[in-house]
Amino acid sequence: MKLAEIYMQFQSDITIIENELEATVKARNDVLSKASIQLLKAGGKRIRPVFVLLAAKFGHYDINSLKHIAVPLELIHMASLVHDDVIDDADLRRGRETIKSQWDNRVAMYTGDFIFGKALETSTYFDNPRIHQILSHAMLEMCLGEIEQIRDQYNWQQNFRVYLRRIKRKTALLIAVSCQLGAIAANADVFVQKQLYKFGYNVGMSFQITDDILDFVGTEKQLGKPAGGDLLQGNVTLPALYVMHHDPKMKKLIEDLLSSESPNETEIGPIIEMIKNSEAINYSVKISDQYLSKAFDALDKLPDQIEKKYLHEIAAYIGKRKF
Amino acid sequence: MKLAEIYMQFQSDITIIENELEATVKARNDVLSKASIQLLKAGGKRIRPVFVLLAAKFGHYDINSLKHIAVPLELIHMASLVHDDVIDDADLRRGRETIKSQWDNRVAMYTGDFIFGKALETSTYFDNPRIHQILSHAMLEMCLGEIEQIRDQYNWQQNFRVYLRRIKRKTALLIAVSCQLGAIAANADVFVQKQLYKFGYNVGMSFQITDDILDFVGTEKQLGKPAGGDLLQGNVTLPALYVMHHDPKMKKLIEDLLSSESPNETEIGPIIEMIKNSEAINYSVKISDQYLSKAFDALDKLPDQIEKKYLHEIAAYIGKRKF
């Protein structure tokens, strides 16, 4: 079963969500409309909506209700990307110009605010306050994750626990609640809701660790930006943490380079090479795999349905992807 | 009846809201906690919560329920101030350093996001989806207002209608829904809800026009910042619009100054003086008064209660204030 085949199974419902996304962000303001539509068109795998749909198959599946939770989850993800761009001074995302570089920081900030607001407006479809609580909690944790990332930038003393908590907040939680909310919106069993949350959380952790590995081992073409960007921006991820923890000389080298006036991609090249050739990558892959296998454990406890296989397939793809 | 006396009447409930505000923004993150608490301590008149309480007196008043709508409204206002600071390069607000200058733009953005998120989390107390719809709609309109302000900066061709729509979105709507939601949360009559919305909208318009007048006629001490800041930043408000509409020479003068490399407070001084001494101020006061009198009309239709007098008093204060 290939990933594309799973998407094919849900094609008509994904199209419904896609149309709903577009209709939702259309604003009576040109700048906002253009900025938001541009973001939408930049694509992405719509992994959060797909998880909503698959999770809902374990309950009473109704796309006309589900779209009101799939859309906000994708929008919250999009809004956080826009605000991320403000922060990162990132001029490229998926190889395209970001909203920020094309317009400016201020427009990017309000576009993010606008998309956040639209996410919330869409979710008001549901009466169930638990859905709103889970959604707003996820938004808050994402903010905490972002603030922690700022706080921890260029901090070479941080430990693994701090890193794991940060990626939980930044990435894993929204994927976890996508699975959970799909199940809740479809009135699935509480046990099923919990297992799907666990599944999503572990997939999300594996996903982010894989992302952080790729920032070292990926090619510029694969990444849509030069490798080593995280380190250059002072974002200390798992491979760098491992190296700095096990090799005091490398630690000194990295600290020296990044505390210099303006480190650039040429200077950082040899350091990236050293990390690529160290045990750090294997170690990080191992940790990612551990999360993945916990995700599979959660899946095992779900009722036997074809969607179990689909979720397994997507999880494996996400945790093992090379780009 | 003085304003302080009205606040005295509600002192214990305002204290409950104040404590709830503080408890709500306390985060497990130092930077966020400090930034948010600092914002809270900077004070403000808590006019939105006070409107919630007064409006609720026309229904079944229960502070333990009302606080869950008063707090989000004040938080949404606070979050928009933080994001405003990112935009305005404002280093001073109410004479204190802004979050932005003290930390940096990125922290200000996420502090705003965090406070928005907390506002939504608090409001999940209510099952009534209408409350959430009104709240998220108000947030969205505020975003549109901010984006329009960016779009319209340094645009000397804009008309009065564009200005009025902008201040409705930026300011008046949140005050309108504060009154409306207080009434809804207290299950007041639909007719009462509507009149209170109208009252709030007109008070909000008068409030913002007064603010825009004060930016010309206020002293640095009153404003906590030098006069003329709006014009210097290219924000075209009612007094400037009037002058530019009635005096082509002044229009040319203003356009020339503001399209120069870096206009400063010394250069803009004479222009501010000319606007102060023109008909623009009287005209703007007249428009503000018209909104105020519409607010009073809406009040007149409410049942006879002491709170009618209180609302009248606060509206008059807001529309006529000198600082």
Percent of chain B surpassing pLDDT 90: 59
Contacts of B110 in chain A (CB under 8 A): 83, 87, 143, 146-147, 150
Expressed as residue numbers, the domain containing B305 is 3-319
Give, in order, the Cα–Cα distances in Å from B235 to each of A285, B93, B158, B171, B267. 53, 17, 11, 15, 17
- The position carrying tokens 């009635």 is B246
| Nearest chain B residue to A125, by CA | B129
Contact call for B150 and A109, based on CB within 8 A: no
CB B204 within 8 A of CB B172: yes
Phi, psi of B65 (to 5 degrees): -90, -45
The two beta strands, A96-97 and B92-93, are: unpaired
Checking if the pLDDT of B94 tops 70, the result is no
Contact call for B139 and A31, based on CB within 8 A: no
* Count of beta carbons in the 10 Å neighbourhood of residue B160: 12
- C-alpha distance across the termini of chain B, in Å: 20
Checking if the pLDDT of B56 tops 60, the result is yes
Buried b (16+ CB within 10 A) or exposed e, B31-60: bbebbbebbbebeeebbbbbbbbbbbbbbe
Checking if the pLDDT of B193 tops 90, the result is yes
What does the block give as tokens for B279?
A: 């008909």
Q: Which residues contact B225 (CB under 8 A, 6 or more apart)?
A: B90, B92, B93, B95
Checking if the pLDDT of B215 tops 70, the result is yes
Checking if the pLDDT of B196 tops 90, the result is yes
Report the pLDDT value the prediction gives residue A96, as an integer from 0 to 100: 57
Phi, psi of B96 (to 5 degrees): -105, 160
CB B134 within 8 A of CB A157: no
Checking if the pLDDT of B103 tops 80, the result is no
Question: A92 pairs with which residues across the strands?
Answer: A97
Picking from B32, B120, B140, the nearest residue to A136 by CB comes out as: B120
| Nearest chain A residue to B25, by CA | A140
Q: Worst-scoring range by mean pLDDT, A28-32, A135-139, B151-155, B281-285?
A: A28-32
For an interface test with B, the pick among A88, A136, A149 (most B C-beta atoms closer than 10 Å) comes out as A136
User: Residue B44 CA to chain centroid, in angstroms?
Assistant: 11
Mean pLDDT per 10-residue segment, chain A (323 residues): 84 94 83 80 86 98 97 95 71 55 74 92 92 94 88 85 95 97 98 98 96 91 82 90 92 82 74 91 96 97 95 90 65
Mean pLDDT over residues B126-131, rounded? 91
- The position carrying tokens 């910042």 is B225
Report the pLDDT value the prediction gives residue B42, as an integer from 0 to 100: 74
Minimal Cα–Cα distance from A29 to chain B, Å? 7
Contact call for B120 and A107, based on CB within 8 A: no
What are the DSSP E strand ranges found in chain A?
92-93, 96-97
Q: Worst-scoring range by mean pLDDT, A301-305, B13-17, B149-153?
A: B149-153
Picking from A87, A105, A120, the nearest residue to B120 by CB comes out as: A120
Distance CA A166, CA A173 (A): 10
Nearest CA-CA partner of B283 in B241, B249, B253? B241
Checking if the pLDDT of B210 tops 60, the result is yes
A224: left (phi over 0), alpha (psi -120 to 50) or beta: left
Checking if the pLDDT of B100 tops 70, the result is no
Contacts of A34 in chain B (CB under 8 A): none
Nearest CA-CA partner of B228 in B277, B149, B219, B154? B219
User: Residue B29 CA to chain centroid, in angstroms?
Assistant: 28
Picking from B129, B132, B140, the nearest residue to A118 by CB comes out as: B140
- C-alpha distance across the termini of chain A, in Å: 20
Contact call for A29 and B109, based on CB within 8 A: no
- C-alpha dihedral over A137, A109, B111, A129, to 10 degrees? -20
Based on the number of CB atoms within 10 Å of its own CB, is A201 exposed (0-12), middle (13-18) or buried (19 or more)? buried
A228: left (phi over 0), alpha (psi -120 to 50) or beta: left
ipTM above 0.90, yes or no: no
Minimal Cα–Cα distance from A302 to chain B, Å? 30
Mean pLDDT over residues B207-215, rounded? 95
Contact call for B113 and A139, based on CB within 8 A: yes
Report the pLDDT value the prediction gives residue A65, as an integer from 0 to 100: 97
- Please provide the DSSP assignment of B75-103 as one string: HHHHHHHHHHHHHHT--EETTEE-HHHHS
Global pTM value: 0.88
DSSP B170: I
Residue B229: pLDDT band (50, 70, 90) is confident
CB A152 within 8 A of CB A236: yes
3-state secondary structure of A126: coil
Report the pLDDT value the prediction gives residue B198, as an integer from 0 to 100: 98
Contact call for A83 and B117, based on CB within 8 A: no
Contact call for B137 and A121, based on CB within 8 A: yes
Picking from A27, A109, A147, the nearest residue to B107 by CB comes out as: A147
What does the block give as tokens for B315?
A: 């509206």
CATH number at residue A271: 1.10.600.10
Minimal Cα–Cα distance from B278 to chain A, Å? 34
Nearest CA-CA partner of A140 in A173, A164, A163, A114? A173
- Could you give the number of structural domains in chain A? 1
Report the pLDDT value the prediction gives residue A103, as an integer from 0 to 100: 61
Minimal Cα–Cα distance from B31 to chain A, Å? 8
Distance CA A142, CA A176 (A): 13
Percent of chain B surpassing pLDDT 70: 92
Minimal Cα–Cα distance from B146 to chain A, Å? 7
Nearest CA-CA partner of B272 in B282, B281, B261, B285? B281
Helices (H), chain B: 3-9, 11-25, 30-41, 47-56, 63-88, 99-102, 105-123, 129-152, 160-167, 173-185, 190-217, 220-223, 229-232, 238-246, 248-258, 265-276, 280-300, 306-320
Contacts of B124 in chain A (CB under 8 A): 129, 132-133, 136
